Chain A
Amino acid sequence: MGKMRPIKVLVAKPGLDGHDRGAKVVAMGLRDEGMEVIYTGLRQTPEKIVQAALQEDVDVIGLSCLSGAHNRLFPEIVRQLRENGKEDTLVIAGGHIPDKDISFLQDHGVRAVFGHGIPVKSIAEFIRQNVAAD
């Protein structure tokens, strides 16, 4: 078998918050872990994020939201992904997400939530273990 192909990740910022330093740190970190990372930029709607995921055919979507709108936005993104036949895409999240919201998000398709201070290496490892096989 040939060498493994790079994992493709979309790092997305849904909602209106204007802080993307964390998202960029994760994006660069995942690149350093050998992944191909597409960053959407700020203030993305669920539709824009899903359209990017469809066109780029990514394996993973990392959602970053610091405005508190995650309970509304993240399930909506997962729903639209499923509607478009992309239920296999691994959806993970980070940002300002209180512990109490984590199980709600997991029930709605977000496989893991990575709080502040989690090393990017751990995120990369989680991705490698959980990304859908070809």
Chain B
Amino acid sequence: MSKINPENIARSRRWSEEELIDQLAWGKVTALARLITLVENDPAVMARVLPMVQPVLGRAFCIGLTGPPGAGKSSLASRLTGVLRSAGQKIGVIAVDPTSPFSGGAFLGDRIRMQDHCLDPGVFIRSMATRGSLGGLARSTGDVIKLMDVYGCDYILVETVGVGQTELDIMQATDVTVVVLVPEGGDSIQAMKAGLMEIGDIFVINKSDRPGAEGLAVLLRGVLEMNPRYGSAIPPVLLTRGTDGQGVPELAGAILDRRHNLEGADLEARRRERRKAEFEEILKRAVVQEWRKLTDSDETVGNLLAGVAAGGKDPYTALLEIFPRGCIKLRTD
């Protein structure tokens, strides 16, 4: 049976970031694994690494899988991986699970469902905890997608829990978002709620052997048709069974159709929005970080913050003292 390929050995603990990037581009498993760890633990790492890889990004097509817990997303991800692999494509899978707000720890249990792919050198599976991020993905999930792109993945599947109210990161981070629902009661009400209904490019009703599946499909299509945003072309609503893979080839087909239809202007437009949003996130973090340093090191700033904390000074007035309107300027030196 397959032994670990010695070519994938890289004693990564002792390599520099530049060397790891080099190995990453050559498809070394340990380099990808180590770089993911580094970017996950320290935002400054991606700040150094991204300029090195920016020119080669954009080849991987990223698929998001979201939906309520228990919908069978992981099993579906595994089946979908199998279908995409049969065409010889290299697949990356990122399985995101929530960090406990009490302990800071996490139980990352999605990998269990991917047993079929554990020894396939063409499939790289990584589990990630949200670590306090509230949008459904970890802060660094976008970075990990980029690293997998450089590594050579043709498709990247990102899987996370979402009930559509605050977990909307997935829509922005991926090229196509698949919303996975189950036929159980309550879903018909849930289906009406904003958020989940608006982020899906493709809708899937999993566990389709359960009663109510067809009915939910009809209901969903009805709701989608009422949305003026879609006009005559509503997103596909598909029925699948993650347990035996029924409906999964059709799901893969719908994803590839979507990719084909998106190719060119629309895909680029979506990616453009993503880059803008990512930049805003990075900017926000940098500003807050800088601000926190100043409150420690600068007396005037520290006093201002103390004034706000004591309740004497309202935050909007305080803001105008640090940040008058029109003060963002590009460096000219």
Contacts and interface: CB of A to CB of B under 8 A. Distances in A.
Contact of A32 (B4, B13, B29, B105): B105
B307 interface: no
B129 interface: yes
Interface residues of B, number: 39
B289 to A, nearest CB: 11
A95 to B, nearest CB: 19
Interface stretch (B75-83, B120-128, B217-225, B232-240): B120-128
A88 B105 CA distance: 22
23 contacts: A5-B40, A6-B105, A8-B37, A28-B107, A31-B103, A36-B99, A37-B105, A37-B108, A39-B111, A39-B112, A41-B115, A48-B119, A51-B4, A54-B29, A55-B33, A56-B33, A56-B111, A57-B37, A83-B4, A83-B9, A84-B9, A85-B10, A85-B13
A32 B103 CA distance: 5
A51 B127 contact: no
A47 B112 contact: no
A52 B105 contact: no
Interface in A41-60: 41, 45, 47-48, 50-52, 54-57
Given A57-B33, A57-B36, A57-B37, A47 B2 contact: yes
B320 interface: no
B227 interface: no
Contacts of B30: 54, 57, 84-85
Given A47-B119, A54-B29, A85-B30, A37 B103 contact: no
Interface of B: 1-4, 6, 8-13, 29-30, 33-34, 36-37, 40-41, 99-100, 103-109, 111-112, 115, 118-119, 124-127, 129, 131
A31 B100 contact: yes
Contacts of B129: 6, 36
A95 B44 CA distance: 41
A74 B121 CA distance: 23
Given A39-B112, A83-B4, A56 B126 contact: yes
Interface of A: 5-6, 8, 27-28, 30-41, 45, 47-48, 50-52, 54-57, 80, 83-85, 88
B107 A41 contact: no
B100 A55 contact: no
Contacts of A31: 100, 103, 105-107
A118 B90 CA distance: 43
A40 B111 contact: yes
Contact of B105 (A34, A40, A54): A34
A48 B107 CA distance: 19
A64 to B, nearest CB: 14
Contact of A47 (B3, B99, B107, B124): B3
B66 to A, nearest CB: 21
Given A30-B105, A57-B34, A88-B13, A40 B112 contact: yes
B10 A51 contact: no
B105 A35 contact: yes
Given A6-B131, A47-B3, A88-B13, A36 B36 contact: no
B4 A47 contact: yes
A16 B106 CA distance: 27
Given A5-B41, A54-B30, A57-B33, A85 B107 contact: no
B288 to A, nearest CB: 14
Contacts of B119: 47-48, 51
